[in-house]
Amino acid sequence: MIVVGRIGTGKTTLLMSIMDETVRLSGTQTVKGRIAYVEQEPFIFSGTIEENITFGYKLNEDRMNYVLKVSQLDQDISAFAAGIKTMIGERGINISGGQKARISLARAIYQDADIYLLDDPLSAVDPEVANNIYRDCIQKALKHKLVVLVTHQLQFLRQSQQILVLKDGKQEMLGTFDEIRQLGFDVDEILQTYNQAKRNDDAEDQ
């Protein structure tokens, strides 16, 4: 499932609610299986790339190689003299934002969980890498898993089995791409709102 909506509509809150990390005012929820969460701001700790990916699990070299490939990290790793033994500084100070996002994604895949909650991991990488991750990771590596992907990369909507559109913290539409288009889903409006909010954030950071 892909979750979309304007900035501030509750997409991240939805994922946190699934993990029971919010205060429930009403209703019930049932979650079966192990959850792997890829946060919007990747958590990277001081240690090797291997340690950041295995995250306490025993190293399985075959699985590690597979995970590096589908998360589009294999070429990055080959460029480092120490490979997966490369040390990462505090909060990933010596790697790029895209590499942080892909390490966080690789960590989740390595866990081999049942449910994957992905909070906009594609926004930190360029379009070609995003396409490769969506194809090799989300569509192939995780094809037998339950995946909830928050994204503003609306080019992937046509390929999703189901799309949830949020508005003001509530479900506005739910269905396939064609179904939500018939209900009046406006791709351009959401993109314009997101792009304007991103420009405002970038201006504040300068």
Q: Which domains does the chain have, with CATH numbers?
A: 2-205 (3.40.50.300)
Q: What is the mean pLDDT of residues 25-49?
A: 91
Q: Are strands 163-167 and 170-175 parallel, antiparallel or unpaired?
A: antiparallel
Residue 206 has pLDDT above 70, yes or no: no
Q: What pairs with residue 117 in β-bridges?
A: 37, 148
Q: Quote the Cα angle for 96-97-99, to 5°.
A: 65
Q: Mention every residue, 6+ apart, whose C-beta is less than 8 A from residue 29.
A: 17, 18, 20
How confident is the model over 70-106, as pLDDT tens digits?
999 999 999 998 999 999 988 888 899 999 999 999 9
Q: Quote the Cα angle for 170-176-182, to 5°.
A: 80
Look at residue 197 in the predicted model and tell me its pLDDT.
55
How confident is the model over 84-93, as pLDDT tens digits?
999 998 888 8
